[in-house]
């Protein structure tokens, strides 16, 4: 039986960026169905005990930067650990990923999510800017009309629904992966995700 993974993530999350390609490879190798579900961490954190970055203790902020650099080096991924456009609103890019997924399927949603994450964390681009998002659509070979679709009420509602689903599943951070009801939080748990998909 084909396994299914609910992939809850934030388009602004450095940890989602660091884990996205590896997760895609793991899911493909297991022939798993990925359900692409961008969420609004701004809604999740207040209800689950999380703090916005600026409100975290200095020691936690410093360790976050060191750990990001360590993981980027380990994974051989280009990364600006303090990108020019961060923090940045993620709603527009999240809705664009949802629109791509709904109109063109999981592969398109995953490809666009990858492009958005790389734009922010590797390319110093503003993922809240309409022109940047339009350029990312073109770079992914996706139609420009998705920019209009992303602002439609059904897509915005889907974004809100994914966030509520995430909360109901016990999600408190990104990325999170739910396999058969079992929650795995963080790109550093992908080994466990892989085992769950192969079991």
What is the SS3 string spanning the chain? CCCEEEEEECCCCHHHHHHHHHHHHHHHHCCCEEEEEECCHHHHHHHHCCCCHHHCCHHHHHHHHHHHHHHHHHHCCCCCCCCCCCCCCCHHHHHHHHHHHHHHCHHHHHHHHHHHHHHHHCCCCCCCCHHHHHHHHHHCCCCCCHHHHCCCHHHHHHHHHHHHHHHHCCCCCCCEEEECCEEEECHHHHHHHHHHHHC
Domain total of the chain: 1
* Whether residue 131 has pLDDT greater than 90: yes
CB-based contact 24:110 (threshold 8 Å): yes
Percent of the chain surpassing pLDDT 70: 100
Which CATH number do you get for residue 110? 3.40.30.10
Question: Tokens 């664009």 — which residue?
Answer: 96
Nearest in space to 20 (alpha carbons), one of 158, 105, 122, 144:
122
Instruction: Please state, in angstroms and rounded to a whole number, the distance separating the CA atoms of residues 140 and 88.
Output: 22
Q: Which pLDDT band holds residue 10 (cuts at 50, 70, 90)?
A: very high
Q: Which pLDDT band holds residue 101 (cuts at 50, 70, 90)?
A: very high
* pLDDT tens per residue, range 139-180: 999 999 999 999 999 999 999 999 999 999 999 999 999 999
State which residues form the domain around 69. 4-198
* Whether residue 87 has pLDDT greater than 80: yes
Instruction: Please state, in angstroms and rounded to a whole number, the distance separating the CA atoms of residues 168 and 109.
Output: 23
């Amino acid at each position: 039986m084909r396994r299914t993974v609910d992939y809850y993530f934030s388009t602004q999350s450095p940890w989602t960026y660091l884990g996205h390609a590896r997760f895609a490879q793991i899911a493909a190798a297991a022939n798993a169905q990925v359900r692409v579900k961008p969420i609004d961490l701004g809604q999740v954190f207040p209800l689950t005990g999380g703090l916005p970055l600026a409100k975290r203790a200095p020691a936690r902020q410093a360790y976050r930067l060191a750990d990001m650099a360590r993981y980027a080096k380990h994974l051989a991924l280009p990364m600006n650990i303090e990108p020019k456009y961060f923090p940045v609103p993620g709603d527009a890019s999240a809705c664009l990923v949802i629109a791509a997924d709904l109109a063109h399927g999981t592969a398109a949603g995953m490809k666009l999510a990858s492009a958005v994450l790389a734009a922010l964390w590797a390319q110093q681009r503003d993922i809240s800017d309409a022109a940047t998002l339009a350029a990312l659509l073109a770079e992914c070979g996706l139609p420009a009309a998705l920019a209009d679709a992303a602002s439609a009420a059904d897509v915005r509602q889907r974004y809100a629904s994914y966030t509520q689903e995430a909360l109901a599943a016990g999600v408190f951070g990104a990325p999170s992966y739910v396999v058969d009801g079992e929650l795995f939080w963080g790109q550093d748990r992908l080994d466990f995700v892989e085992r769950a998909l192969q079991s």
